[in-house]
Amino acid sequence: AGDDPAFLTFFLDLVVREIKGSRKQLKEAIDTNDIVRIKELLHKLRGTSSTAGLIKLAQMTKDLEISPTIETDLAIAFVAIEQEMDIGLELIAKILNK
């Protein structure tokens, strides 16, 4: 990807869309307390984050996804995950010069 600027732009734009979509979907699942859906979305976000090199976000989503106390950890953990999403989006914007 590093040698192909068009592919890099395409890939990072896709990552941005996925992260933004995940945030919206997670908020909706949290609002309805749909733990199964939340875990599915965290798993998907973990894959996106890991593929994009957003290692801290990937680890945070993994930790929450497998947490036996996800119901009680969710509110605080999601705030931290959202902050890490913002950091990732800012880094990608810098790479894309947007």
pLDDT band at 1 (very low <50, low <70, confident <90, very high): low
Distance CA 33, CA 81 (A): 17
CATH 1.20.120.160, domain 5-96, yes or no = yes
Residue 88 near residue 52, CB atoms below 8 Å: yes
Q: What's 10-23 look like in SS3? A: HHHHHHHHHHHHHH
> Percentage of residues in the chain with pLDDT exceeding 70?
97
Q: Is 80 exceeded by the pLDDT of residue 98?
A: no
Query: What is the pTM (predicted TM-score) of this model?
Result: 0.91
Terminus-to-terminus CA distance in the chain, angstroms?
19
Domain limits of the chain? 5-96
Q: How confident is the model at residue 3 (pLDDT cuts 50, 70, 90)?
A: confident
Length of the chain, in residues: 98
Which residues lie closer than 8 Å to 37 by C-beta, 6 or more apart? 25, 29
What would the pLDDT profile of 55-95 be if each residue is shown by its tens digit?
A: 999 999 999 999 999 999 999 999 999 999 999 999 999 99
